[in-house]
Chain A
Amino acid sequence: GDSVTQMEGPVTLSEEACLTINCTYTATGYPSLFWYVQYPGEGLQLLLKATKADDKGSNKGFEATYRKETTSFHLEKGSVQVSDSAVYFCASFIIQGAQKLVFGQGTRLTINP
């Protein structure tokens, strides 16, 4: 079945460091891909998305490129801030059937000043 795998956390970085959170997916079709962010005590917010191969999603300095050849959608940011501390979820979406989001296990990111 469809699945999403994220790099193991937690991840701790210093402010202004570079960030990469790996995400790979398996899918029977051609999914849309998303990154959601969950700040402490809050619900999920859409961070960025890509709906087809080679699309690049970007928001708040974060970027991710839909790589069909490697079935990946890695999240990157060039210079992280303390306010980026949160849990990040990679997810895939298939329009057929249940139309559900399939989530990775989440990666907790902590940025130290």
Chain B
Amino acid sequence: EAQVTQNPRYLITVTGKKLTVTCSQNMNHEYMSWYRQDPGLGLRQIYYSMNVEVTDKGDVPEGYKVSRKEKRNFPLILESPSPNQTSLYFCASRDYDSFSYEQYFGPGTRLTVT
């Protein structure tokens, strides 16, 4: 089954404790992206990656890092989480050559930073 998976689904942590949210897709997509969802703001892009070893900042990259060492994986790293990073996070992927431009979303990771 074609899908984007994220882990963990739920995470409660404390300020300053480094964490990683994993994202993996099995569709051989070149493009992957991270979004955060906050009430009243919709979803905003954090980082994106056009392909392996190619990453760039989105609209709200502060406090986040990413890496793309393999095509299927695109982890999101919070080196020193802060309470303002409490949010619902979504990973997405799409086929770079697809003219439908559809992005496939993971199930989301709800992060709480206390």
Q: Could you tell me which A residues sit within 8 Å of B by CB distance?
A: 4, 32, 34, 36, 42-46, 49, 51, 89, 91, 93, 95, 98-101, 103-106
Contact = CB atoms under 8 A, between A and B. Distances in A.
Contacts of B59: 100
22 contacts: A34-B102, A43-B105, A43-B108, A44-B105, A45-B105, A46-B102, A49-B100, A93-B103, A98-B48, A98-B56, A99-B31, A99-B50, A99-B94, A100-B33, A100-B45, A100-B48, A101-B35, A101-B45, A101-B103, A103-B43, A105-B40, A106-B42
B56 A95 contact: no
Contacts of B105: 36, 43-45
A105 B41 contact: yes
A40 B50 CA distance: 31
A51 to B, nearest CB: 7
Contact of B106 (A32, A36, A43): A43
A93 B44 CA distance: 13
Interface of B: 31, 33, 35, 40-45, 48, 50, 56, 58-59, 90, 92, 94, 99-103, 105-108
A51 B102 CA distance: 10
A42 B107 contact: yes
A103 B42 contact: yes
B87 to A, nearest CB: 14
Given A42-B107, A100-B58, A105 B101 contact: no
Contacts of A4: 42
A81 B56 CA distance: 42
Nearest to B108: A43
B38 to A, nearest CB: 9
A4 to B, nearest CB: 8
A39 B56 CA distance: 30
Given A43-B90, A49-B101, 12 more contacts: A4-B42, A43-B106, A51-B100, A51-B101, A91-B43, A95-B101, A98-B45, A98-B48, A98-B56, A99-B31, A101-B43, A106-B42
